[in-house]
Amino acid sequence: MKFLFVLDPLEQIKGYKDTSVAMMRAAQARGHQVFSCRQGDLYSKGGVFALAGALELTGNDGDWYRAKEPREAALASFDAVLNRKDPPFDLEYLTATWLLEQAEREGACVFNRPAAVRDHNEKLGILEFAQFVAPTLATSDPERVHAFIDEHQDVILKRLDGMGGESIFRVRVGDPNRYVIVETMVQGGARSIMAQRYIPDIAKGDKRVLLIGGKPVPHALARIARPGETRANLAAGGRGIAQLLSAHDRKIAETLGPVLAARGLLLVGLDVIGEHLTEVNVTSPTCFREIQDQTGFDVAGMFLNALEQEIKSRTP
């Protein structure tokens, strides 16, 4: 099969840890052809096309690929198109989902499904599953934010379009910077944010639970914040420790898995702190390599199995 990966610039991708690289290596090991393009290489001209170059994956994490000269190719000519472009989910990302959705109409198999990605904000997506969610507020009104802080005493504030731990603040009721933080976050009422009651179990890790084809990977990656830091994200300096899913992790995963898979979300990353679901990541979920390296479980192989099965199910 021929797989096209829509990626950030190849030179920016770290071969030793990147989930997309793990996927591509697994695909190549099965005899599939791997191609890549950037988001800006997608275009429509009597059909949706990309300037796509064939890749050869090496076994060297520092020098992980060999790329051939890109050529014009219709997205429908690939067996699967995998959109692995990292956020931010800005207008260019939104435009890419429109182009990818048109490519679907022309016969392309796109993962995750563009409409499903567009409809699932990674922060607000938790609201559908309220039984697993700590007290949460979404608003652009600073007075509501302050009332929420007064009620819960210790809260986390985050922007709805952030990633990797950026623009996340812990605010306590007596924090002398509280008003300037809220003012900066909501931009005078022009920008909606999310506030969540602080969950002390973050000390035990912010767990990334992966769903592949609606089924949970048996291990989560507990991301532990470095000393003096609230954020546990790996991009913010957190340390990842793989561990078996708890019974409650599995309950969350088995509740959400079939629902999200039915919408065309082949790969989802759930963020779980203690017993609470905090995010539903659908754009470019990560942590394959960390789990594989620490446990030996073949996450990329599980993903390829699900991808191949999904392609077959969509083929007339």
Q: Which of 52, 87, 261, 104 is nearest to 160 (CA)?
A: 87
Whether 112 is a known active-site residue: answer: no
Q: What is the CATH number of the domain that holds 185?
A: 3.30.1490.20
Whether 158 is a known active-site residue: answer: yes
> Is the same domain home to 50 and 94?
yes
C-alpha pair distances (Å), 204 with each of 200, 232, 273: 8, 10, 8
> Choosing from 79, 206, 271, 290, which is the catalytic residue?
271
Does the residue 123 lie in any domain?
no
> Choosing from 85, 158, 178, 207, which is the catalytic residue?
158
> Is the same domain home to 232 and 184?
no
* Type of residue found at 197: R
Whether 208 is a known active-site residue: answer: yes
> Is the same domain home to 188 and 225?
no
User: pLDDT at residue 226 above 90?
Assistant: no
Cut 0.75: pTM above it: yes
Q: Which of 186, 224, 206, 225 is nearest to 269 (CA)?
A: 206
| Structure confidence at residue 187 (pLDDT) | 94
> Is the same domain home to 146 and 226?
no
Between strands 193-197 and 239-244, the pairing is: unpaired
User: pLDDT at residue 161 above 80?
Assistant: yes
> Is the same domain home to 265 and 174?
no
> Is the same domain home to 83 and 155?
no
> Choosing from 118, 178, 208, 289, which is the catalytic residue?
208
Whether 279 is a known active-site residue: answer: yes
Q: What is the span of the domain harbouring residue 104?
A: 2-113
> Choosing from 18, 281, 289, 290, which is the catalytic residue?
281
Does the residue 55 lie in any domain?
yes
The model's pLDDT over 37-74, given as tens digits with 9 standing for 90+, comes to 999 999 999 999 999 999 999 989 989 999 999 999 99
Task: Examine the fold and report which residue of 198, 226, 246 is the final residue of a domain before the chain moves on.
Answer: 198
Does the residue 311 lie in any domain?
no
Whether 312 is a known active-site residue: answer: no
Whether 41 is a known active-site residue: answer: no
With beta carbons less than 8 A apart as the criterion, state whether 112 and 93 touch. Answer: no
> Is the same domain home to 144 and 63?
no
The structural domain count of the chain equals 3
Q: What is the CATH number of the domain that holds 272?
A: 3.30.470.20
Does the residue 222 lie in any domain?
yes
Does the residue 304 lie in any domain?
no
The model's pLDDT over 294-303, given as tens digits with 9 standing for 90+, comes to 999 999 999 9
- From CA 108, how far away is CA 105, in angstroms rounded? 7
Does the residue 267 lie in any domain?
yes
> Choosing from 25, 84, 85, 123, which is the catalytic residue?
123
Whether 289 is a known active-site residue: answer: no
> Is the same domain home to 178 and 274?
no
Does the residue 127 lie in any domain?
no
Q: What is the CATH number of the domain that holds 98?
A: 3.40.50.20
> Is the same domain home to 60 and 158?
no
The model's pLDDT over 231-276, given as tens digits with 9 standing for 90+, comes to 666 665 778 999 999 999 999 999 999 999 999 999 999 999 999 9
> Choosing from 18, 79, 279, 290, which is the catalytic residue?
279
Does the residue 250 lie in any domain?
yes
Task: Examine the fold and report which residue of 198, 216, 248 is the final residue of a domain before the chain moves on.
Answer: 198
> Choosing from 223, 233, 249, 290, which is the catalytic residue?
223
> Is the same domain home to 105 and 17?
yes
